Amino acid sequence: MKLTNIVVFGGSGFVGSAIVARLVERGCRVLVPARRRDKAKHLILLPTCEVVDADIHDDATLDSVLAGRDAAINLVGILHGSQADFTRAHAELPRRIAAACARAGVKRLVHMSALGADPNGPSMYQRSKGAGEAAVRASGLAWTILQPSVIFGAGDQFLNMFAKLARVAPVLPIAGADVKFQPIWVEDVAAAFVNALDNPATVDQSYELGGPKVYTLRELVRFAAAAAGHPRPVVNMPAGLARVQARLMELAPGDPLMSRDNLDSMQRDNITSTQPFAPAPELGIALSPMEAEAPLYLADIRARDRYGAYRARTRR
Ligand SMILES: NC(=O)c1ccc[n+]([C@@H]2O[C@H](COP(=O)([O-])OP(=O)(O)OC[C@H]3O[C@@H](n4cnc5c(N)ncnc54)[C@H](OP(=O)(O)O)[C@@H]3O)[C@@H](O)[C@H]2O)c1
């Protein structure tokens, strides 16, 4: 059956926006329940996408947004927070979404987890993602779980962050410089979600996702800095110092660049269990190399820098 009426939880975010755009292109009607509808203006412009203000931690709200839908996609996730925040977003919410799907007769759920999700993992992020996976697997729904490594693309919080740091710092001290990652392009992840949705071969399956190549964090930071026009030396920060720095960042207002929990996640490499990696054929994706896609938006940072300098000079 073609599924055409979809709720996307977490649809307002970086990955969600790419998935929603693809669903709309495919002719689906998409509902995005958001904490702040005004933060999802870019989605409101899409012809068959509706964005509503909703508290998705409320069961009655879940029942109402799921009524009459064909399928749900859950992308809600956080990178920083307390144990209670991680449990609420990554473990309790998937369980409640799954239960609400069952009540509403929505049989299909595609769930975003992460590579390294593990109830016994070293970080709160990984443990809570592992608990969320367990809840989805136990739901009795037709579920699919996707577990990507770090995701890059215009608007990412990863390569862009290093590119921005390189603009202001002559040397980049990085914690866990030798940890390995396997970045995957956001459009490849979005395609995997949309293709999985109504492919029965993906039902009750979990899929690791990674890009075509493995890099150390040091290589990724060097790459981002150079692509943004600010090549910089990268040095490994001693573990003790990295922890103190992360603690200070957590105390500063706003989202920290790095938290102690992020450092805990980096105790393990974030790469797929088989190498070289080939995505499962039923996901219908070909992997795009980072070197082809990332410079296109990282170079924008460079262009914005240049315009900033022009503006400063001309006072406009
Ligand atoms: N980006 C990566 O490298 C990566 C890698 C592996 C897995 N993932 C997973 O992919 C998913 C999407 O990530 P992303 O990069 O797109 O993150 P993002 O841009 O921060 O988007 C997260 C989404 O979740 C929503 N959200 C967060 N906390 C919420 C809460 N307590 N209640 C309701 N909604 C909440 C956000 O809503 P607001 O717009 O209201 O904030 C947003 O729509 C997450 O589950 C993440 O763990 C990401």
Nearest in space to 5 (alpha carbons), one of 140, 100, 145, 108: 108
Nearest CA to ligand 1 atom 21: 13
Q: Whose CA is closest to atom 22 on ligand 1? A: 13
User: Is the minimum distance from the CB of 14 to ligand 1 under 6 angstroms?
Assistant: yes
Whether 220 is in the pocket of ligand 1, judged by its Cβ within 6 Å, is no
Distance CA 226, CA 191 (A): 29
Q: Which atom of ligand 1 is nearest to the CA of 129?
A: 47
Rounded distance from Cα 75 to ligand 1 centre (Å)? 6
pTM tops 0.75:
yes
Q: Which residues contact 94 (CB under 8 A, 6 or more apart)?
A: 74, 111, 132, 133, 135, 136
Superfamily of domain 5-150+185-209: NAD(P)-binding Rossmann-like Domain (3.40.50.720)
Query: Which atom, in ligand 1's list, is nearest to the CA of 155?
Result: 19
Q: N- to C-terminal Cα distance for the chain?
A: 56
Question: Distance from the CA of 306 to the center of ligand 1, in angstroms?
Answer: 31
CA distance 263 to 260: 5
| C-beta of residue 211 within 8 angstroms of C-beta of residue 289 | yes
How far is residue 38's CA from residue 119's CA, in Å, rounded to a whole number? 35
Residue 23 tokens, joined: 């669903």
Strands (E), the chain: 5-9, 29-34, 49-53, 71-74, 108-112, 142-148, 151-152, 172-174, 180-181, 184-185, 205-209, 215-216, 234-236
Q: Which is the closest atom of ligand 1 to the Cα of 74?
A: 45
CB of 112 closer than 6 A to ligand 1?
A: yes
> Is omega for the bond preceding 231 within 30 degrees of 0, making it cis?
no
d(CA 142, CA 1): 13
Ligand 1 neighbour 41 (Cβ under 6 A): no
Pocket residue to mutate for ligand 1, from 7, 9, 14, most atoms within 8 A of Cβ: 14
Any atom of ligand 1 within 6 Å of the Cβ of 36: yes
Instruction: Show pLDDT as tens, one digit a residue, over the chain (316 residues).
Output: 689 999 999 999 999 999 999 999 999 999 999 999 998 989 999 999 999 999 999 999 999 999 999 999 999 999 999 999 999 999 999 999 999 999 999 999 999 999 999 999 999 999 999 999 999 999 999 999 999 999 999 999 999 999 999 999 999 999 999 999 999 999 999 999 999 999 999 999 999 999 999 999 999 999 999 999 999 999 999 999 999 999 999 999 888 999 999 999 999 999 999 999 999 999 999 999 999 999 999 987 656 655 555 555 555 5
